[in-house]
Structure formats: C-alpha cells, structure tokens
A and B are shown apart, each in its own frame.
Chain A
Amino acid sequence: MLRYIVRRLLVSIPVLILLTFAVFALMRAIPGGPFDFAGDKSLPASVVANMERKYHLDEPLVKQYGRYLWDLLHLDMGPSMRERGRSVNDIVKDNFPVSFQLGVMSVALAVMIGIPMGIVAALKQNTWMDYLATFLAVIGVAIPALVLAPVLIWVVGVMLGWLPAALWGAERPFYLGFIPKPTPNFFRHAILPVVTLGTGFSAAIARLTRAALLQVIREDYIRTARAKGLRERVVVIRHALKNSLIPVVTIIGPLFAAVVTGTFVVEQMFAIPGMGKYFVTAISQRDYPVIMGVTLIYATLLVVANLMVDMTYAWLDPRIRYE
C-alpha cells in the first residue's frame, strides 16, 4: 500500500509540471499584460517597458518559463505583479487558511446533513420522509449560492439582525497556520457562509447516498444479515452504508479540493478574505505568477484529494486492493 501511495505521488509530479506548462502557455496567449493599464488609463509605453523589464517579462518566453520552474523548485512562487511588494507565497499564506476554514466547515456540514438525510430517504422510501428529504435536496441543488447568499444576508443579517451580515470573524494569528481561535464571534460570522456553501453540497450528497443505498439494501447479503436476526440499525450502518458510500466519497474528494481553495461567489458575497477571488481577478489583471500559483495549489490539492479518495475505497470495500 505504501509503495502504491509513493508511486502515485511520483507520477503526479510530471502531471503537475505539464500543468504549469499548459497554464503558462494559455495565460501568455491572452492579449494584454499586467502593466498595460492602471485603472481606466493605459500607461505610456516607456513606463510599461520599465515595469516589464523589472519583472523579466521582456525575456524570451522559454527563459521566463525556465526561471519560473527553477524558482518553484525552491518553493518560491514568484512576486505578484499587481500587488507590488507581495509575493505569491505571501498571498497564499494570508488567504489560504481562511478559505480552508470555510471549506472544511462547509464540507463537514454537508456530510453531516447529507448522509443522514440520504439514509432516511432510502430506508423510508416512498414515505413522507423520503419525499420531504428529496424535495429539500432538489431545492438545495437548484438554488445557487449566488441567490442564497444575498437572501441570507438580507433576511438574517439585516432584517432580523440575528447574525453578522458579512465578513469573517477569524482573528489572526491562527494556530498551526490555519486553525482559528474558536471564539463565539468566529462562529457567528461563520454560520451564514457555511450554510450557504454546505446546503448545496449536502443536497448533492443526500441524493447520491439515497440512490446508492437504495441499490445496496436490495442486495442478497443484506437479506442474509436480516435473516441472521441482526438489528436493523446494525444492518444499515455496518453492512449497507459502507458499500453505498463509494459514489459519495468519489465526489467528496474533488469537492473538498475545490471548496478548500476558495469559492469565488460565497467569498465575494460575504466579504471573506479567502483565496477564491484570486482565481478570477488574477486573470483579468494578468498577474501571471498568481495565476500559476493558485492553479498549481488547486491542482496539488486535487491530486492529494483523489489519492485519499482511492485510499478510502480500499477501506470501504475490502475487495479493492492496491499493490
């Protein structure tokens, strides 16, 4: 198993390098550069030339790519061309923990709501509980965060005033770089964004769990378990659930990677200083090192998440073995 993990990780390195190449080529293909304009005004050519020289943009593309890879080897993702004086490492160090906090809490909420809801819907199929759960799930999937977020902000934050309307309540510094102090202020600020993000995902998870479980409980070995006289709860949780979780785990992996690197919409709407906005703004600003940096982090997390998903398969289904 260990050899398998190591092999997987080694294989992912060329994949990531290929990714940097693809991103580099694509982003340089977009017309315009990071220094062409300041706000509404385009800058004089000599100024642009000066700034490009400072950031080595006047060198041949191959040399720039080589320089980038070399710095990457030293774990230096380069300077931000838009936020002068700040490096991509700084941006990640400041913003990634916040996205991580939001992401972990959202996925946790989604799993904690979604799986039980799916189980109930599957076991009590075609009863009112099933219909209610499915109904909620469809609504959860159908309502995008872009709609849910402002509604929650307005109703709960402004009209009712129960919770803060926006912003993130985590105080720096964080323990170990990303764990926040668990103050009431933190949780009060966190509820609305986590609910916005979590409910959509929990709906998807609930539907998947329900579908998978419905299939599994009709299997023969479940009949055997019931025939042996085991309690229903044991039958479901110990025997049926493990097998039905495979499709759920499959989506949770990439979901975790995507959410943890920051979701643009929720972070923008709740004014949460996460990493999500950089995925979008870095492109419109042509901030090349930031584009490469955030994409690389996302890709790395995705690789790791998929690896963990595969490990979980082995745990869920003992028939799956890796060597």
Chain B
Amino acid sequence: MSSKLRWAGVVGAIVILTMVLAACAPAATPTPEVIVETVEVPVVETVEVPVPVGPERPITLDISFSGDPPTLDPSLATDTTSVWVDEQLFIGLTDLDSETMEAIPRLATSWDISADGTVFTFHLRDDVKWVHYDVLTDTIEEVGPVTAQDVVYGTLRTLDPRTASPYAYVLYVIKGGEALNTADLEELTEEELQALIDEVGAKALDDYTVEFTLEYAASYFPQIAYMWVMRAMPQATIEEFGEEWTWPGNMVSNGAYVLTEWSRGAMLRFKKNPYYYDADKAQIEEVVAPVVGESSTNFALYEAGEIDITGDPGWGVPLPDMDRVRADPVLSQELTILPRLCTYYYGFIHTKPPMDNVLVRKAFAAAIDRVALVENVTKGGQTPAHSFACPGIFGNAADDLTIGSYLLDIEEGKTKAQEWLAEAGYPNCEGLPEVTLMHNVSEAHALIAQAIQEMWRENLGCTVKIETMEWGAYLGMLQEDAPDADKPHIFRLGWCADYPDQQNWLGEVFHTTKSANRIKLGPAPDFDALLDEAVLEGDPAKRVELYNQAERLFIDEYMGVAPIYYYTSVNMFKPYVIEHPTNPSFGWHINDWKIDWEAKKAARGWE
C-alpha cells in the first residue's frame, strides 16, 4: 500500500514536472498555417482555386467577438456579432455611406424609382459569385452566379412565417409583406400560403434586375435594401441543409470572406474569397477571431498583443480602464472614438402619476447634467442628447439646438426644472409621490442611474428610488399590456438603428397608434400626423422638415422620453492596422482594411 501511494506520488510529481517543463519550453516556432493544396480537375462546373502553399504566413487580422453569434443566417440575425459576420459573408443590395448614411451601390449598381415612388427597380452586378468552402480540402470553389432570383428568394424567405424571422417587420414596407408574415399558419392551406407569397411585391424581372413594389412611397427604401434580411440567399443550399446551412462546409456565400471555422463559443475564422469581384484590392487574407466574453480579458489580450483591435465585433475599452488609456502616451494614440447609431434615454410611463403631467416629465429631463455625466461617468466621448434621433439618422434634429436647449445646459435646465415642478404643484418636490427609476442589471447603467439620482436630488430636491431587474423580466414588465402597478415611473432604455431613417426611430418606436412600443405618449394626434405625412413624402428636404417638427413636438411639447446621450463606440487599433475604415452602421468591411504586415510580424515576433 505504501509503495502504491509512493508510486502515485512519483507519478504525480512527474506529471507536474512535465507540465511545468513543457510550458516553460521555448515557444516552438509557431507552425505556420499549413494549407493543403489540392489540384483536382473535377468534371463538374465548379473550378477549384488552390490557396497558396508554403511556409509563408498569410496576412492575418486578429480580432475577437464579445459573444458567440447566435446565428449567421441573414434572415434570423439580430445580434451585432451576427450582423458583423453576415456583413463579411453576404453582400447587401446597397451599402451605406459612412458619412451621410445614404444608400450607395453594392450588389445593385443603380436603381430606378417609379413616378409615384412605390416601385423600385434595382440593376444588379453580374460578376458576383456564390462560393463554397470545402472544410476537408481547405479550398474555395465557385458554385454559380448571384442572380436576381436569389435576392427575391432571400426577401421572401425572411417574410415567410415559417422562417420565424425576428426582423421581418422592417420589410413590411414591401407590398404584401406584412400580410404574409402575420399569416396564421394553422388557418391556411398550402395554396393560400403560396398565394400570399406570390402577392409580395418582390419580383425578378430577369437574371440581374429586381423589382420591389412598396405599400407606400417610402423614399428610404434603398437604406432598407442595405439590411441583411433582404440579401441574396442560396436557395439550393438552404433547402438542402435546413437550419444547418450556415455551418462552414455547408455554407454558400458571396461576400469578400468565407467562413472557414466556427467552433461554437470558441473561435471563428475567415479566409479571403478569391472570387469576390474586388478580391485583388483586399489585403487581409485571413481573420482569426476567438470569442472572448469578458471585456477586461479582451483588453488584456489587446495589451498583451494577441489581438489587433479592441471594439466591434468584440468588447470596447472597459470603462475602468478609460482613465488609464487616456493618460498613457502610447495607448491614447491608439484610442479611436467612433459614433454609433444609438441613443440612450430614460423613458416615462405616461399613465402613471406624477409622470402623466408633462411639466413633471420636463422637469426631470431638464434636471440631468448631461455634460457632467458624459465627462465623469461614461467617459466614452459620448454626445449629450437633446433629441431622440442621433446624428447620422436621416431626418435627425441633433444639430438643431433650439429643440430641448435646456437639456444641454444645466444652469438653464435647473432653473426651468424648478419652475416647471412648482407650476405642476410640487415646489421643491414637496408633495411629489415617490418616484421609482428602474434599469436592467448592469454596472454601467447602475453608475449612470446613481449619478442621475444625485442630480435630481441636488437640482430638484427629489429623492428617487432606484430598482433593477433582470433583462428578460425587465422587457416583459415594460410591455404595453403589462400592469402599470408593476412598472416604475422612469425606466432606462436605448434604441439602435435598424436602418438609419427617422421612420425607424420616431416612427416605429413612438407613433402612438402604429408602433409596437411600450410607452404610450397618450393622445398626440399632431405628432402622429407629422409622422404619417413624413413617411409618404417623396421630397427629402420636406421629410427632414417634417421630422424636425416632430422632434420639436416630441421633446418640447410632450417630453416623450428624456434623451441622455448619443452612443459612441470606444475602439483601439494597433498602430500596424494602418487603414481601418469604419461605419456607424453595423459591420465594417474587412476587405477595405490594410495592415502593415512587416510591422505586425515584428510586433508578434513571427519569422
């Protein structure tokens, strides 16, 4: 027995020793990515292009994901990580200009609009190909051309109720879209469903021309055409593999990169698509992206030099590190703050006293020192917000400082707030029933809420109670049909653009009768009328004017919500990532990025 235990002890010691020695061994020369070359001449129409072989390391970009993308199916993607990947894998009909957010050509080279503005005809490129990545041979092969029929298939698939797409509602602007998507599958026969599908205003006029008929003259339709839910999708592949069509090896895609590995929860890898029409301009050949769920760990990896960027699709710079980064001479050079198409706001439950009184709402909104909040609490270079839609959204009023001016200057805001509160019958907050502020569980939201709670105490004399709730339960509690008694008076939310147009912002969130919103403004017919008119208006200048008026009503008349700040994303790029064009919308095109490869190899100690 003792000899057995001694034997076990010796083995244990040897194991530990081996582990330590193995780990301390000089890092073996990293095995370069061995790419197997196959030179086959198949009898089929596909042509395989062998990927370069040899000890040469391909030009690689190392990034990270903040979480595993829940899905890569364009019809089903809602998460920013999923959308980021889909941006590399599938080309949209249009792209969004990074400055103006206007639609520019991508798969579609141009589009015609009918006289009444309800019919859009897109002319497609003819040099975009579907490609397939073969996992076993590590080769990319061309499968066929991307045609108008693929675009129509993608659109119809998203609207099909059987797909159960969470984002189908952005396509309700297409004629017959809503009718198809909300159809009750239990009630319909096959023919009736097919009839509904045929009714949808998406038709392929020929192989490279798609015609969309809309429910009304929505001039922002080219921006919707950018969205992933409307992209060309490979019908044959989807019908063959069903829900598994997005696994590498099954997937057929047409973007600048193909997905070569997707270890769920662990790692994603991409390889340049040699058949992409601009492939020769794309410098980066491979993208390696582990999933790093913790933002501090992500930043540690960046500082240790194991990843090249901090930011989308991974975590941005963690808040506790912001001060240190700004003070550091090296890191502060790598810091880049970019706009993000989102607004952070505090909403009111308009049916719950005292928030049913617009003066009380305005008082609470004005008593927040947004400038101080952004400088001392959020520290991310955010812009204090005085209107709902952020810069970049078509029709936004962010630079019209006459709207909600008291929201940006705390001296003016404090004075006005106290006046309003007194006028409402609660001078110095006497007699005000207890007000509750709620937010979902998050350290960042907690910090902001506590700061604002203190501002209200100082500027209004009001003591507000803060409560928190888990995200899923929180959203459920805020639903329109949930009982008011469970709701707080003030709640925190954010809104991010689905597409950068006010219809998606004021229209789809706050229209008092047509939006699927949680906040009922209470009767606001003038506000609704403006939104209804703006949606159908063809002249962009007139639309901007209408939306401006709507924002003015929304803030100065009704104070529907108290906007707090317009989001930014706080990114860092290693100095050897010399070109990294970004876009406030989702997804950046990696094929436009450039690395100083020699500098990166030197920094990493490769070769």
* Residues of chain A having any CB pair with chain B under 8 Å: 30-32, 35-47, 50-51, 53-54, 82-86, 90-91, 94-95, 98, 108-109, 112, 150, 153-154, 157-158, 161, 163-168, 172, 182, 184, 187-188, 190-191, 233-234, 237-238, 241-242, 268-271, 273, 277, 284-286
The minimal Cβ–Cβ distance linking A320 to chain B, given in whole angstroms, is 17
Nearest first, the 4 closest Cβ-Cβ pairs linking A and B are A85-B243, A273-B266, A38-B78, A32-B472
Q: With an 8 A cutoff between CB atoms, is B292 at the interface? A: yes
**Are A165's CB and B301's CB within 8 A?**
yes
**Are A187's CB and B19's CB within 8 A?**
yes
Q: A166-B297, A167-B292, A191-B23 are in contact. List 17 more A-B contacts (CB 8 A).
A: A32-B476, A40-B495, A47-B164, A51-B164, A83-B68, A84-B71, A108-B12, A112-B12, A150-B300, A153-B296, A158-B304, A166-B306, A184-B22, A234-B2, A268-B293, A270-B297, A271-B301
The minimal Cβ–Cβ distance linking A144 to chain B, given in whole angstroms, is 15
Q: Name the B residues within 8 Å of A284 (CB-CB).
A: 470-472
The minimal Cβ–Cβ distance linking B310 to chain A, given in whole angstroms, is 13
**Are B264's CB and A91's CB within 8 A?**
yes
The 8 A CB mask of B21-38 against A (1 = contact, 0 = none) is 011010110000000000
Q: Name the A residues within 8 Å of B541 (CB-CB).
A: none
The minimal Cβ–Cβ distance linking A98 to chain B, given in whole angstroms, is 8
Which residue of A36, A83, A98, A237 is within 8 Å of B70 (Cβ)? Answer: A83
**Are A31's CB and B181's CB within 8 A?**
no
The minimal Cβ–Cβ distance linking B159 to chain A, given in whole angstroms, is 11
Name the CB-closest residue of A to B266.
A273
**Are A37's CB and B475's CB within 8 A?**
yes
- Given A47-B169, A84-B243, A269-B294, A237:B5 Cβ within 8 A: yes
Name the CB-closest residue of B to A277.
B293
Which residue of B22, B71, B471 is within 8 Å of A187 (Cβ)? Answer: B22
Q: How far is the CA of A246 from the CA of B48 in the complex (A)?
A: 64
Q: Name the B residues within 8 Å of A168 (CB-CB).
A: 266
Q: With an 8 A cutoff between CB atoms, is B73 at the interface? A: yes
Name the CB-closest residue of A to B306.
A165
The minimal Cβ–Cβ distance linking B488 to chain A, given in whole angstroms, is 16
- Given A85-B246, A112-B12, A237-B2, A36:B475 Cβ within 8 A: yes
Enumerate 13 A-B pairs (CB-CB under 8 Å) in ascending A order. A31-B472, A36-B476, A53-B185, A85-B244, A90-B264, A94-B266, A108-B15, A165-B297, A166-B297, A188-B27, A242-B1, A271-B292, A277-B265
- Given A50-B185, A271-B293, A284-B472, A94:B300 Cβ within 8 A: no
Tell me the residues in window 244-303 of chain B with beta carbons closer than 8 Å to chain A beta carbons. 244, 246-247, 263-267, 290-294, 296-298, 300-301, 303
- Given A42-B479, A153-B297, A271-B294, A94:B263 Cβ within 8 A: yes
The minimal Cβ–Cβ distance linking B221 to chain A, given in whole angstroms, is 20
**Are A271's CB and B297's CB within 8 A?**
yes
**Are B518's CB and A42's CB within 8 A?**
yes
Q: With an 8 A cutoff between CB atoms, is B425 at the interface? A: no
Q: Name the A residues within 8 Å of B27 (CB-CB).
A: 184, 188
Q: With an 8 A cutoff between CB atoms, is B16 at the interface? A: yes
Name the CB-closest residue of B to A184.
B22
Name the CB-closest residue of B to A194.
B19
**Are B166's CB and A43's CB within 8 A?**
yes
Q: With an 8 A cutoff between CB atoms, is B76 at the interface? A: yes
Q: Name the B residues within 8 Å of A41 (CB-CB).
A: 78
**Are B300's CB and A165's CB within 8 A?**
yes
Which residue of A46, A95, A234 is within 8 Å of B182 (Cβ)? Answer: A46
Question: Number of A-B pairs whose CB atoms are under 8 Å?
Answer: 176
Q: With an 8 A cutoff between CB atoms, is B493 at the interface? A: yes
The minimal Cβ–Cβ distance linking B480 to chain A, given in whole angstroms, is 10
Which residue of B25, B298, B301, B304 is within 8 Å of A184 (Cβ)? Answer: B25
**Are A166's CB and B166's CB within 8 A?**
no
**Are B470's CB and A157's CB within 8 A?**
no
- Given A83-B71, A164-B306, A30:B246 Cβ within 8 A: no
Q: Name the A residues within 8 Å of B266 (CB-CB).
A: 94, 98, 168, 273
Q: With an 8 A cutoff between CB atoms, is B516 at the interface? A: yes
Q: Name the B residues within 8 Å of A167 (CB-CB).
A: 290, 292, 301, 306
Q: How far is the CA of A39 from the CA of B79 in the complex (A)?
A: 6
- B residues contacting the other copy or chain, number (CB 8 A): 71
- Given A37-B475, A157-B304, A284-B471, A273:B71 Cβ within 8 A: no
Q: How far is the CA of A158 from the CA of B78 in the complex (A)?
A: 34
Q: How far is the CA of A273 from the CA of B262 in the complex (A)?
A: 12
The 8 A CB mask of B71-82 against A (1 = contact, 0 = none) is 101001011100
Q: How far is the CA of A165 from the CA of B294 in the complex (A)?
A: 12
Q: With an 8 A cutoff between CB atoms, is B525 at the interface? A: no
Which residue of A53, A85, A153, A182 is within 8 Å of B300 (Cβ)? Answer: A153
Tell me the residues in window 158-190 of chain B with beta carbons closer than 8 Å to chain A beta carbons. 161-162, 164-169, 181-182, 185-186
The minimal Cβ–Cβ distance linking A213 to chain B, given in whole angstroms, is 14
The minimal Cβ–Cβ distance linking B319 to chain A, given in whole angstroms, is 15
- Given A38-B78, A42-B479, A83-B264, A238:B1 Cβ within 8 A: yes
Which of A112, A161, A242 has the largest number of chain B CB atoms within 10 A? A112
The minimal Cβ–Cβ distance linking B424 to chain A, given in whole angstroms, is 31
Q: How far is the CA of A182 from the CA of B22 in the complex (A)?
A: 9
Name the CB-closest residue of A to B166.
A38
Q: With an 8 A cutoff between CB atoms, is B496 at the interface? A: yes
Q: How far is the CA of A277 from the CA of B292 in the complex (A)?
A: 12
Q: Name the A residues within 8 Å of B267 (CB-CB).
A: 273
**Are B473's CB and A30's CB within 8 A?**
yes
Q: How far is the CA of A40 from the CA of B492 in the complex (A)?
A: 11
Name the CB-closest residue of B to A166.
B297
Q: How far is the CA of A283 from the CA of B256 in the complex (A)?
A: 36
The minimal Cβ–Cβ distance linking B588 to chain A, given in whole angstroms, is 19
Q: Name the B residues within 8 Å of A172 (CB-CB).
A: 263
Name the CB-closest residue of A to B303.
A158
Q: With an 8 A cutoff between CB atoms, is B494 at the interface? A: yes
Q: Name the B residues within 8 Å of A166 (CB-CB).
A: 292, 297, 300-301, 306
Which of B186, B247, B304 has the largest number of chain A CB atoms within 10 A? B304
Q: How far is the CA of A241 from the CA of B300 in the complex (A)?
A: 43
- Given A94-B263, A157-B304, A44:B516 Cβ within 8 A: yes
**Are B470's CB and A40's CB within 8 A?**
no
Q: How far is the CA of A182 from the CA of B15 in the complex (A)?
A: 12
The minimal Cβ–Cβ distance linking B302 to chain A, given in whole angstroms, is 9
**Are A233's CB and B304's CB within 8 A?**
no
- Given A37-B472, A238-B2, A86:B264 Cβ within 8 A: yes
Tell me the residues in window 410-448 of chain B with beta carbons closer than 8 Å to chain A beta carbons. none
Q: Name the B residues within 8 Å of A154 (CB-CB).
A: 300
The minimal Cβ–Cβ distance linking B273 to chain A, given in whole angstroms, is 23
Q: Name the B residues within 8 Å of A46 (CB-CB).
A: 161, 181-182
The minimal Cβ–Cβ distance linking A290 to chain B, given in whole angstroms, is 12
The 8 A CB mask of B488-502 against A (1 = contact, 0 = none) is 000001111000000
Q: How far is the CA of A94 from the CA of B267 in the complex (A)?
A: 12
Q: Name the A residues within 8 Å of B2 (CB-CB).
A: 233-234, 237-238
Q: Name the B residues within 8 Å of A36 (CB-CB).
A: 472, 475-476
The 8 A CB mask of B222-250 against A (1 = contact, 0 = none) is 00000000000000000000111011000
Q: How far is the CA of A277 from the CA of B291 in the complex (A)?
A: 13
- Given A42-B479, A43-B166, A47-B168, A188:B300 Cβ within 8 A: no
